[in-house]
Amino acid sequence: MDTTKKIIFFFLLLISSHSRGNENLLLKGDSLFELKKYVEAKEYYDILYFDKELYTNSMLLKLAFIENELGNFEKSIFYLSKHKKEDDNEIIDQNLFNLVTENDLKTYDNSDYDYLLKIYKTNKQYIIIFLLTVLLTVFCLNIIRRKRNQKIKYIKTFFTLSVIIMLMINIKGAQEGIILNENTFIMNNPSSGSDVYQIIKKGEKIKIISESEVWYEVELENQRKYIRKKNILKID
């Protein structure tokens, strides 16, 4: 076996071993969850989510359940919100609504933008398929016209549709986070010496604009404020 083949073989073996290791972690967590050993199961799930940055939607639901059982409703909201971002459905919405209502949280009123974004995400694949069909039709018509030595038309339409499709594929909702700690300070400026603008309770949802090493720049009441990163679980 030459050197190149050895390197490729070793690389594939390394990937395979890494994948099996992650799968074993998930299986151990799931087994402990079935045995209702929730704290032990959470340890394996936490390794996958925070250290390996890997998860399944099923794992997110189990983490949400475990955290709620442990009294950490804010973390339960976080995992449900993460699941909602990946796969929105009525069951997730109902569970989130229950947690928000039970804990008297105030920052979950959906804006018109959120409502429209939800409609778009629900029908995204159908909208894109329709636009791709129109795009393909325009393209084919121009091929036919070119073969007949006729003037090519709808060039602007073709490029406009192409841009719209690219934008739609990449549309994402605003980045958000869940407040992790009770009585978290919202600061006017990214400095520990800054004035406190407001104190916010754990579990509340906040819109994230940008981040630095220590601070998240957030939007609150149409103003830009700052919260220390350790106080927010960011919904990536």
CATH code, domain carrying 220: 2.30.30.40
Where does a domain end: 169, 186, 208?
Answer: 169
Return the number of other C-beta atoms located less than 10 Å from residue 232's C-beta. Answer: 22
Whether residue 98 is found in the same domain as residue 39: yes
- Quick one: DSSP state of residue 50? I
Whether residue 72 is contained in a domain is answered as yes
Residues 42 and 8 occupy one common structural domain: yes
Q: Are residues 74 and 38 in the same domain?
A: yes
* Chain segment 182-229, per-residue pLDDT in tens: 999 999 999 989 999 999 999 999 999 999 999 999 998 889 999 999
pLDDT of residue 17: 45
- Taking the C-alpha atoms of residue 133 and residue 68, their distance in angstroms, rounded to an integer, is 46
For the chain, what is the domain count? Answer: 3
Its pTM surpasses 0.75: no
Answer yes or no: is 226 within a domain. Answer: yes
Same domain membership, residue 68 and residue 11: yes
* Range 14-46 burial, b when 16+ CB lie within 10 A, else e: eeeeeeeeeeebbebbbebbeeeebeebbebbe
Q: Which of 169, 187, 213 is the last residue of a domain?
A: 169
Domain holding 191, by residue range, is 176-235
12 — pLDDT class (breaks 50, 70, 90): very low
The answer on 28 and 54 residing in a single domain is: yes
